[in-house]
Amino acid sequence: MNMKMLARLFALSGAVIALGAPPGFAAGGVNCHDVGGGILTNFLDPSQCLPTTSSPVGLCTDGPATGDLRGAVGVQVLTATGNVLHNHHHWVTESGDTITFEDADLTLLASVNGQSLFNYLKGVRITGGTGGFEGASGNLNSVFGAVDLNKGQLTLRYAGTVCLPTVKEP
């Protein structure tokens, strides 16, 4: 067998292997999905907020999440500096899995009579979770909404990408 024929055989076998590879393998071992939905939360009485030394603000919310990550969400405001709230998020999906996040900054954009528009300008980064979200990564890169501080209510939309490790065949 000459070198030209051997090179063609290797090229052909490489192409067959690449075409037959499972999508997760071909994509580097992850499976990414676009997600989106909405969140409605209420501010809790400060006595019900998680007592942490890093949260002297005493603001926290809890409420339902709809859409692709439906379940329940809670936010603990860790610090407030000017129009920026540095937040810690708690997320439990409808099936009981948790999603973990890096702490993120919410920026109040405009306020009138205790009502404000806000945006997470850098998004909210996913760092893992439990169950189906173990090893998850990604970013909710569009998170914006409105808050009514008079009524203690917040509503928002989220959209982004969640990447999950590919499950290996047994």
Q: What is the pTM of this model?
A: 0.76
Helices (H), 21-151: 23-26
Residue 17 DSSP SS3: helix
The tokens of 60 are what? Answer: 């926290």
C-alpha distances in angstroms, 136 versus 33, 55, 114, 132, 167?
11, 27, 36, 8, 12
pLDDT higher than 60, residue 6? no
Q: Which DSSP state fits 83?
A: T
- Picking from 11-25, 50-64, 121-135, 139-153, which range would have the lowest pLDDT averaged per residue? 11-25
What does the pLDDT read at residue 27?
45
Counting every residue written for the chain, the total comes to 170
The residue type found at 81 is T
Mean pLDDT of the chain: 83
* Predicted confidence band of residue 67 (pLDDT cuts 50, 70, 90): very high
Class of domain 30-165: mainly beta
What does the pLDDT read at residue 72?
97
Mean pLDDT of 54-63: 76
Residue 155 DSSP SS3: strand
Q: Where are the domains of the chain?
A: 30-165
